Structure 1
């Protein structure tokens, strides 16, 4: 199982960061380069625990669907989403938030398993892990810039 661990410092209140990270609209705008859209589930607003959403987007030149469930949520410090159906063998994304003297420390722990045995593992090491890291970093930078403009 691969794990991507990212930490982003945001000069904005923790609740604003938490809400932006679980916003459908912010998610869509942060992934504009993939033509991402919601095809089932919550279409706007803020995700809540128990929500199930299906995203459709272009990744690696292929139109893909990913269905996730928003699992445990502790406002405003934690929520997770877990893949129910999609291209990964499994996927879990933890979103952690902490206040450090007015600066929000946003930590992502993105864990996934690839299918296809040794070929999948090779593809992951050669390309997929760095692709996913860049995708998440771009999303976090989008959140940071939007929140720090306010």
Structure 2
């Protein structure tokens, strides 16, 4: 089963400011909950570009650390970028990040399409573990971005 997760947030900052922050792989650790043990191993030495490979470790569940490799497959400066998992915990991961200028700031939209491994077992654990964890990660991200840029109601 292919799942979809969407989040939208209105930030009180310019497109340029938000883009400069989210297009730096070094800032992934800032907006990831500390409990996830996020650590970049390579690929964070430049601003984001199409074809960039980012390799990191993360501890998503039960204290088990996993390696995750993503590729930035599409990028339009100050508008959007797409990261796709090449190796990692998901069977499929496609994450689109969009920015759009609005009066007083910017709206940021995340759309993730993902598929879990393990067939039937993956479908069982999705509502119990994976979906709540994904929501918690993006709740943390929303809070951190609000602290950094302010939020438009």
SS at match of 1:121: helix
TM-score of the aligned structures, taking structure 2 as reference length = 0.89
Structure 1 segments, 4+ long, off by >4 Å, are none
CA distance in 1, matches of 2:86, 2:122: 19
> Equivalent residues in 2 for 1:49-60 (5 A)?
49-60=50-61
CA contact 1:35–1:58 (8 Å) conserved in 2: yes
Gapped runs of 5+ residues in structure 2?
Answer: none
SS at match of 2:19: helix
Aligned residue number for residue 5 of structure 1: 6
Question: Which of 73, 76, 80 is residue 74 of structure 1 equivalent to?
Answer: 76
> Equivalent residues in 2 for 1:22-101 (5 A)?
22-31=23-32, 32-40=34-42, 42-60=43-61, 61-101=63-103
Root-mean-square deviation over aligned CA pairs: 1.6
CA distance in 2, matches of 1:71, 1:91: 12
Question: What is the count of residue pairs matched by the alignment?
Answer: 148
Question: Which of 111, 130, 133 is residue 109 of structure 1 equivalent to?
Answer: 111
TM-score of the aligned structures, taking structure 1 as reference length = 0.91
CA contact 1:34–1:58 (8 Å) conserved in 2: yes
CA contact 2:70–2:85 (8 Å) conserved in 1: yes
Aligned residue number for residue 16 of structure 1: 17
1:109-148 CA-to-partner distances (Å, cap 9, x unmatched) read 0111001111101101222112112112312321232123
1:87-107 CA-to-partner distances (Å, cap 9, x unmatched) read 100001100111111321000
